[in-house]
Amino acid sequence: MKLKAKDMDISSGGPLIAVLNHKDAAMLDLHVMDRIKISKGKKIETVVVDIAQNGSIIRQGKIGLFDEVVESLNLRNNDNVEIAIARKPLSLDYIKKKLDGQSLSKEEIDQIVWDIVHNKLSQVELAYFVAACYTNVMSTAETILLTKSMVRHGDTLRLNKYPVIDKHSIGGIPGNRTTLIIVPIMAAAGYAMPKTSSRSIKSPAGTADTMEVLADVVFPIKKMKEIILKTNGCIIWGGALNLAPADDKIIAVERPLEIDAESQLLASIMAKKHSVSSTHILIDIPSGKDAKVKNRVGAIKLKKEFEKIGSKLRKHIKVLITDGRQPIGNGIGPALEARDVLWLLKRDPRRPIDLEKKCIVMCAEIFRMLGVKNGYRKALDILDSGKAYNKMIEIIKAQKGKETAAEDIKIGKYCRDIVSAKSGKVFDIDNLIISRVARIAGAPHDKGAGLYLYKHIGDKVKKGERLFTIYSESEHEFEYAKDFAKENNGFMVR
């Protein structure tokens, strides 16, 4: 069937989608979610069908095309195209197999990943794969195959260096900006550390959001390599790179479902590390009732899986189980966290000591993996000497930023102190509530929004003493955050 193209000027965010008039669809016995092949000259693309029942949207003889299809086939309005019925992707049979609880082979996993990367699966079909792996957890062997396939179907950063250091935190803890301290310490020590980081999903800030206060974080892989060769380190948003792209598409489906299949979490992290040629990897698993990993039993189980996969991938891997009961650092939100980082690197008295101690312990473990003695002392010396700060400024400048004093970082102009209703000792802090207050205040989309904490677990507090300050760039969001914090500030005092 020959039809005329109509650019819908809509992006699906991934899947290739075309919209047919219901009469044209009926002539080919096509239904919603069926596949068709669209061809223009020698270019052919297989797409998912949607059907317009209203003829005013797509007239008979036309075919509406989402941006991804227009771009792939290089089409313009009213270009002639030809369509034909296409079979569904092979990977759908393999997804059904996983739904039935069966194991997948290398070829089957590779086909699923290929179809994900090339947008051959609809969001619904991809969601079924995520659900299948969540319900019927992949074996270690399957997870390794998934990891390798994710890497194979993406770009790889190749560095003529050894060792190459990397680290990852499972996340779920407000603050916890260890990357922005560890990268300059290890780079100043002479080691390559090409760090790709994420933006926030449900937290007040991701590492990339915080780094973006100080420098650009979006670079192609070629520029990323230049930065590393020049400075030994970088802190770049992984979403701008084509490293294990299947992972980004899987995460996009997991986010609204709020599920995090263990096998996909493992494959996701290890694929990103493998794709930047890392040789020595430190994994941080915060454990606590409000963290992603709720208890030590679950943390130990996950630790063993990381170690198994790391061994199979021939990586040196160390897994730390850390305290995830409360926020790490004082600033919560991109600008407030960036200010903490600079204070810490500059050895300012206002620096967050809990964040500093955690970073030094993590660096000591990396040094131990490398066979370097007295790693704790070495990391502290690099901080105290100013070498880590100077290296961070070097990285910031290489990433098109400039040296900025912590005091010059702009934070929200609307602020309110939240005080304790009674005297006592802080015995618990609800991470979820702290994150929610900061997000209601505008973080991370408003860089200057968030919270600044004055108390942590174990600290004494007097009635009327500050627990934290809310900052917001928007009066409207500030009022919402203030009202929410009045009802529940997340601090338990007794």
User: What pLDDT digit, counting tens, does each position of 129-144 carry?
Assistant: 999 999 998 999 999 9
411-493: what fold?
Aldehyde Oxidoreductase; domain 3 (3.90.1170)
Catalytic residue among 260, 323, 428, 459: 260
Q: What is the percent of the chain where pLDDT is above 90?
A: 85
CATH of domain 165-238+276-398: 3.40.1030.10
The Cα 471–Cα 452 span in angstroms is 8
Provide the pLDDT for residue 301.
Answer: 93
Position 218 pLDDT exceeds 90: yes
Whole-number Cα distances in Å, 345 to 202, 426, 450: 27, 28, 21
Transcribe 443-474 into DSSP letters: TTTSTT-EEEE---TT-EE-TT-EEEEEEES-
Q: Let me know if domain 91-136 sits in CATH 3.40.50.11540.
A: no
The per-residue b/e assignment along 249-279, b for 16 or more CB within 10 angstroms, e otherwise, is bbbebbeeeeebbbbbbbbbbbbbbbbbbbb
Q: Per residue in 11-35, pLDDT tens?
A: 988 889 999 999 999 999 999 999 9
Q: Per residue in 69-95, pLDDT tens?
A: 999 999 999 999 999 999 888 999 999
Q: Let me know if domain 2-86 sits in CATH 3.40.605.10.
A: no
**Averaged pLDDT score across all residues of the chain:** 94
The confidence band for 287, taking pLDDT boundaries of 50, 70 and 90, is very high
pTM: 0.87
The residue-averaged pLDDT of 287-292 equals 90
Position 384 pLDDT exceeds 80: yes
Transcribe 167-230 into DSSP letters: EEE---SSB---HHHHHHHHHHTT-BEEEEEPPPSSSS--HHHHHTTTS-----HHHHHHHHHH
Domain limits, CATH 1.20.970.10, in the chain: 91-136
Higher pLDDT, 200 or 342: 342
Residue listed under structure tokens 């937290």: 203
The confidence band for 250, taking pLDDT boundaries of 50, 70 and 90, is confident
Provide the pLDDT for residue 242.
Answer: 85
Domain limits, CATH 2.40.40.20, in the chain: 2-86
Provide the pLDDT for residue 98.
Answer: 96
Position 201 pLDDT exceeds 80: no
Q: Per residue in 441-485, pLDDT tens?
A: 999 999 999 999 999 999 999 999 999 999 999 999 999 999 999
The answer to whether residue 67 is catalytic is no
Provide the pLDDT for residue 56.
Answer: 87
